[in-house]
Chain A
């Protein structure tokens, strides 16, 4: 299956800081989604972004499919942004392959 590598694995930020999370994948994809798993385990869909750029409030994402990577930008981070951010990709078929995630802690 498609390999997904996320970096950095861990990140600690002070409230108000900006950050960039990266997702590299090993083959062409038709499906790429970013999720946030909060400390209670709930997985929230942030973006469906197989290509291009999208923005939603303080979050934005860019996928450069031809170069096989996607970036998630978090601006003006808040403590509620803490949790694990997962990138998940799919090509043919229905399964999404998830990366190991980036664990983010935002401190007050």
Chain B
């Protein structure tokens, strides 16, 4: 596609519910990243995929967070048993290569846990 597409745009979950956030990267992009952005802060790294391989998950805040990219294109970030502190904007980004290239971000999913 022309850009990185994320869905849903907004998600409201009751505390304890599971959520799944989808990212469709730019077609052909090898690298895919997930970031979390709290209100008034810069994005913080969560995890990185190169094709279908998850090479870095050091930023995932707890084992309630899980990400996958099974066919090396679309990715899903899943949060189990959501907590209020999970409320944030979740941003997906992709880049064309495997090294250091410009990142292209999607519009994000705003998650509110009530």
| Chain A residues engaging chain B, CB cutoff 8 angstroms | 4, 30-31, 33, 35, 40-45, 48, 50, 86, 88, 90, 93-101
Contacts and interface: CB of A to CB of B under 8 A. Distances in A.
Contacts of B45: 94-97
A42 B43 CA distance: 12
A95 B58 contact: yes
Given A93-B56, A95-B58, A45 B42 contact: no
- Chain B interface SS verdict (over half): strand
15 contacts: A33-B102, A35-B105, A40-B107, A41-B89, A41-B107, A45-B104, A88-B42, A90-B100, A94-B31, A95-B45, A96-B45, A96-B103, A97-B45, A98-B42, A99-B42
Nearest to B45: A95
B56 A94 contact: yes
Nearest to A86: B42
Closest 8 pairs between A and B when the two form their complex, measured CB to CB: A98-B42, A95-B45, A31-B100, A43-B105, A94-B48, A48-B102, A45-B102, A94-B56
Interface size class of B (residues with CB under 8 A): 20 to 34
B62 interface: no
B42 A101 contact: yes
Contacts of A98: 42-44
Contact of A95 (B42, B48, B110): B48
A30 B58 CA distance: 19
Given A48-B100, A95-B58, A98-B43, 18 more contacts: A31-B100, A41-B89, A41-B107, A42-B107, A43-B43, A43-B91, A43-B93, A45-B102, A48-B102, A86-B42, A86-B43, A88-B42, A94-B31, A94-B33, A94-B45, A94-B56, A95-B48, A98-B42
Nearest to B31: A94
